[in-house]
A and B are shown apart, each in its own frame.
Chain A
Amino acid sequence: MQVEETKEFKPTIVAFCCNWCSYAGADLSGTNRLNYPANVKIIRVPCSCRVNPMFILRAFQRGADGVILCGCHPGDCHYTTGNYYARRRMTLLFSMLDFLGIEKERTRVEWVSAAEGAKFAATMNDFVATITKLGENRRLEDIRCKKQ
Chain B
Amino acid sequence: MQRIGVFVCWCGSNIAATVDVQQVADELAKEPGVVYSTNYQYMCSQSGQQMIQEAIKEHHLTGIVICSCSPRMHEATFRKTAAAAGLNSYMVEIANIREQCSWIHKNKEEATEKAIILGRAAIAKVHLNAPLTAGESPVVKRALVIGGGIAGIQTALDIADAGFEVDIVEKKPTIGGKMAQIDKTFPTLDCAACILTPKMVDVAQNEKIHIYSYSEVESVKGFVGNFTATIKKKARYVKEDVCTGCGLCTEKCPMKKVPNEFNQMLDNRTAIYIPFAQAVPKVATIDPNACMMLKNGKCGVCSKVCTAGAIDYTQKDEYIEQQYGAIVVATGFNTIKLDNFDEFAYSQSPDVVTSLEFERLMNAAGPTGGTLLRPSDHTHPHTLVFVQCVGSRDISGCGKPYCSKICCMYTAKHAMLCREKYPDTEVYVFYIDVRTPGKNFDEFYRRAVEEYGVHYIKGMVGKVAPKDGKLMVQASDLLANDQLLIEADMVVLATAIEPDESARSIATMLTASMDTNDFFTEAHPKLRPVESPTAGIFLSGVCQGPKDIPETVSQASAAAAKVIGLLVKDKLTCNPCVAESNELMCNGCSACEKVCPYGAITYSDKEFRTPYRTTIMRRVASVNPAVCQGCGACTVACPSGAMDLKGFSTRQIMAEVDAICK
CB of A80 within 8 A of CB of B121, answer no
Hey, what's the 0/1 contact readout for A1-38 against B, CB within 8 Å counting as 1? 10110000000101000010001101111110111101
The answer to the question of B107 belonging to the interface, with a C-beta cut-off of 8 Å to chain A, is yes
Q: Which of B71, B117, B637, B660 has the most CB of A within 10 A?
A: B660
CB of B661 within 8 A of CB of A30, answer no
CB of B661 within 8 A of CB of A82, answer no
The answer to the question of A108 belonging to the interface, with a C-beta cut-off of 8 Å to chain B, is no
CB of A46 within 8 A of CB of B597, answer no
Q: How far is the CB of A32 from chain B (nearest CB, A)?
A: 9
CB of A59 within 8 A of CB of B661, answer yes
CB of B657 within 8 A of CB of A58, answer yes
Q: Which of B101, B635, B653, B658 has the most CB of A within 10 A?
A: B653
Known: A3-B113, A35-B104. A50 touches B631 (CB 8 A): yes
Chain B contacts for A42, CB-based, 8 A? 96, 100
Complex CA gap A14/B111 in Å reads 16
CB of B595 within 8 A of CB of A85, answer yes
Complex CA gap A42/B121 in Å reads 10
Complex CA gap A147/B661 in Å reads 11
Chain B contacts for A62, CB-based, 8 A? 657-658, 661-662
Q: How far is the CB of B28 from chain A (nearest CB, A)?
A: 11
The answer to the question of B202 belonging to the interface, with a C-beta cut-off of 8 Å to chain A, is no
CB of B104 within 8 A of CB of A47, answer no
CB of A49 within 8 A of CB of B636, answer yes
Hey, what's the 0/1 contact readout for B110-123 against A, CB within 8 Å counting as 1? 11011011100100
The answer to the question of B505 belonging to the interface, with a C-beta cut-off of 8 Å to chain A, is no
CB of B99 within 8 A of CB of A31, answer yes
Chain A contacts for B645, CB-based, 8 A? 46, 50
* B contact residues, range: 35 or more
- Which of A12, A30, A78 has a CB less than 8 Å from the CB of B660? A12
Chain B contacts for A58, CB-based, 8 A? 654, 657-658
The answer to the question of B334 belonging to the interface, with a C-beta cut-off of 8 Å to chain A, is no
Q: How far is the CB of B516 from chain A (nearest CB, A)?
A: 8
Chain B contacts for A64, CB-based, 8 A? 657, 660-661
Known: A33-B103, A42-B100. A49 touches B660 (CB 8 A): no
CB of B70 within 8 A of CB of A35, answer no
Q: Which of A47-105 contact B (CB under 8 A)?
A: 47, 49-55, 58-59, 62-64, 75, 78-82, 85, 89
Chain B contacts for A122, CB-based, 8 A? none
The answer to the question of B632 belonging to the interface, with a C-beta cut-off of 8 Å to chain A, is yes
CB of A12 within 8 A of CB of B661, answer yes
Residue of A nearest to B638 (CB): A52
The answer to the question of A45 belonging to the interface, with a C-beta cut-off of 8 Å to chain B, is yes
CB of A35 within 8 A of CB of B105, answer yes
Complex CA gap A28/B654 in Å reads 26
CB of A43 within 8 A of CB of B636, answer no
Chain A contacts for B511, CB-based, 8 A? 80
Chain A contacts for B98, CB-based, 8 A? 30
The answer to the question of A44 belonging to the interface, with a C-beta cut-off of 8 Å to chain B, is yes
The answer to the question of A128 belonging to the interface, with a C-beta cut-off of 8 Å to chain B, is no
Chain B contacts for A41, CB-based, 8 A? 114, 117-118, 121, 660
Complex CA gap A7/B133 in Å reads 50
The answer to the question of B425 belonging to the interface, with a C-beta cut-off of 8 Å to chain A, is no
Chain B contacts for A27, CB-based, 8 A? 70, 72, 96, 99-100
Hey, what's the 0/1 contact readout for B618-646 against A, CB within 8 Å counting as 1? 00000000000111110111000000010
Chain A contacts for B558, CB-based, 8 A? none
CB of B662 within 8 A of CB of A147, answer yes
Known: A1-B27, A42-B100. A14 touches B657 (CB 8 A): yes
Q: How far is the CB of B658 from chain A (nearest CB, A)?
A: 6
Chain B contacts for A23, CB-based, 8 A? 70, 72
CB of A46 within 8 A of CB of B660, answer no
The answer to the question of A121 belonging to the interface, with a C-beta cut-off of 8 Å to chain B, is yes
CB of A38 within 8 A of CB of B113, answer yes
Hey, what's the 0/1 contact readout for B10-31 against A, CB within 8 Å counting as 1? 0000000000000100010000
Residue of B nearest to A1 (CB): B27
Residue of B nearest to A32 (CB): B103
CB of A89 within 8 A of CB of B636, answer yes
Chain B contacts for A3, CB-based, 8 A? 113
Chain A contacts for B109, CB-based, 8 A? 4
Complex CA gap A19/B597 in Å reads 17
Q: How far is the CB of B531 from chain A (nearest CB, A)?
A: 13
CB of B99 within 8 A of CB of A47, answer no
Complex CA gap A63/B72 in Å reads 29
CB of A121 within 8 A of CB of B633, answer no
Residue of A nearest to B112 (CB): A1
The answer to the question of B577 belonging to the interface, with a C-beta cut-off of 8 Å to chain A, is yes
User: Which 8 A-B residue pairings sit nearest by Cβ, starting from the closest?
Assistant: A50-B632, A30-B99, A62-B661, A79-B631, A30-B103, A27-B99, A49-B633, A38-B110
**27 contacting pairs across A/B (C-beta < 8 A):** A1-B113, A12-B661, A14-B657, A24-B72, A26-B99, A27-B70, A27-B96, A27-B99, A29-B104, A30-B98, A30-B99, A38-B107, A38-B114, A41-B121, A43-B656, A43-B657, A50-B636, A52-B636, A52-B650, A52-B653, A54-B650, A54-B654, A64-B657, A79-B597, A81-B597, A85-B595, A121-B104
Q: A38-B107, A79-B631 are in contact. List 16 more A-B contacts (CB 8 A).
A: A27-B70, A27-B96, A27-B99, A29-B104, A30-B98, A31-B103, A38-B101, A43-B656, A46-B631, A49-B636, A50-B632, A50-B645, A58-B658, A62-B657, A62-B661, A64-B657
